[in-house]
Structure 1
Amino acid sequence: MSQRWGRSSLRTSAKILRSWFGYCESRGWVRFGLSEAILLPRIYRHEGLPLGPTWDAVGRMLIKTNGDDSASIRDHAIILLLSVYGLRSGEVRRLHLGDIDWPNDRIRFVRSKSKRKDVTPLVTRPWVDQDNQLK
């Protein structure tokens, strides 16, 4: 069953088996300690949550923020930084215009967890066609 069931179902079944063998131990039908030998799979608190939005959802957000006003331009840039470069929110908040090396098409940022300074190429927009429409 472990190939077809999820961890939650396996955990529930293992707990039922533990309970049954605990009862059997109390009656002397099986060797003591057998119930504790049944291992329970670990269940993580947020394991059911998606890792992030799908690329279709990102594309829809990019279309909605493709305006000329300052808020749309800002939001569009933030979504691109989060989705294309995989930046964390704190890394985006710490960015300054001076972190973008326009002549060499590079962007610099400091990683939140490791404090490592990364320099990566500026990504062109391969996700849009010549009419600025999403591919």
Structure 2
Amino acid sequence: SAGIVRPKTSPLTPVGELVAAYHDWLVGRGLAAATVLRYENLARRFLQERFDEMGRRFLEDLSATHVVAFLLRESERVSVGAAKGRVAELRALLRFLFVRGLTPRALASAVPPVAGWHDTGLPVGLAVDDVQRLLDSCDRGQSIGVRDFAILMLVARLGLRSVEVARLQLGDVDWRAGEMTVRGKGGHRDRLPLPCDVGEALTVYLSEARPSTSVREVFLMSKAPRRPIRADLVGDVTRRACRRAGLPIVAAHRLRHALATEMLHRGATLIEVSQVLRHRDLATTAIYAKVDLTTLRQVAQPWPGAGQ
């Protein structure tokens, strides 16, 4: 289907054939392209590991023990949040195998949940000066630098998610009204004001750096074929900017955190931050109260006996 590129695994191998069928099953269930890719990657690792061990009998005698052992190995090298994602990905694969009659037992329920407390950490952002260093690192004398600068501006100034940047289309920008439509999670569409500096970055990219093509997505790959960028390229752009600026490597999402933190420092309320980040639940935004140290000091009660 459009927007979803099949992996390079050869369809001539048993694992390749099975992953291709799994791909079609996922697409048929209406999953987003980035989700399909993530689910396929885990499926390929799991199935290839079984194939290397068992050969063409790699699905025979597949048991909960094999499933749990694989999940434990995966969880050792990723964060708690990513490990929870592995649980969902593995359950989907096992459900597919059972539905297609490839395994005699429904093993999806054998995948254990990953424990993890909610909202125990602090949202880690970047300092304002560091965000500016990332932006300044883009070589706007080159087409790819102009594109990357516009991408980073959308994330840093408007808090767009990577997938929202990738989905942005030419018709989503209302130049007369100074607004843009963001295609967010769950099919939601939100209208955001278009700040002058962000609008200028987009204008320069569209008029001077974007190739002439019938593709409607705003951001395109820098090399032929001129396809729309995938969401993960936004992360690549951010990491390259970190290297150029001499900063620790961070994910694009950290720029959203930086925007929220800076808004609070400038006096914005949590409701205002929630509106900019387009959180559907204010509880999602409430974690940023932890970094609003000024307000926390105002509401903090003296420790009993501290004055003695």
TM-score (norm 1): 0.52
Question: Where do 5+ consecutive residues of structure 1 fail to align?
Answer: 1-41, 127-135
- Which residue type is aligned with residue 79 of structure 1? L
Deviation per residue, 1:30-83 (Å, 9 max, x gap): xxxxxxxxxxxx8669836x5222211110011111513211111111111111
What count of residue pairs does the alignment treat as equivalent? Answer: 83
How far apart are the structure 2 equivalents of 1:107 and 1:79? 16
Partner residue in 1 for 2:121: 47
Read off the aligned partner of 2:162 and give its amino acid letter.
S
Report the structure, 1 or 2, having the larger helix content.
Answer: 2
Residue identity matched to 2:193: P
Among 31, 56, 75, the alignment partner of 2:148 is 75
Q: Does residue 101 in structure 1 map to residue 174 in structure 2?
A: yes
Structure 2: gaps spanning 5 or more residues: 1-115, 199-308
For 2:170, the aligned partner's letter is L
Query: Counterpart in 1 of 2:189?
Result: 117
Rg (Cα) greater in structure? 1
Letter matched to residue 52 of structure 1? G
**Between Structure 1 and Structure 2, which shows a larger proportion of strand residues?**
1
Per-residue CA distance 1:10-47 (angstroms, 9 max, x = gap): xxxxxxxxxxxxxxxxxxxxxxxxxxxxxxxx866983
- Of structures 1 and 2, the one with the larger relative CO (CA 8 A, separation 6+) is 2
Secondary structure, in 3 states, of the residue corresponding to 2:140? Answer: coil
Runs of 4 or more above 6 Å deviation: 42-46
Does the C-alpha gap of structure 1 residues 118 and 43 become closer, same or farther in structure 2, counting only changes over 3 Å?
A: closer
Q: Which structure 2 residues correspond to residues 25-64 of structure 1 after superposition, within 5 A? A: 47=121, 51-64=124-137
Q: What's the RMSD between the two structures over aligned residues?
A: 2.6
Structure-2 separation of matches of 1:46 and 1:61: 28
**Separation in structure 1 between the aligned mates of residue 139 and residue 130 of structure 2, nearest angstrom:** 14
TM-score by length of 2: 0.24
Q: C-alpha displacement at 1:95, in angstroms?
A: 0.7
Distance change in 2, residues 1:119/1:43 (3 Å): closer
**Aligned mates of 1:116, 1:81 — CA distance in 2:** 18
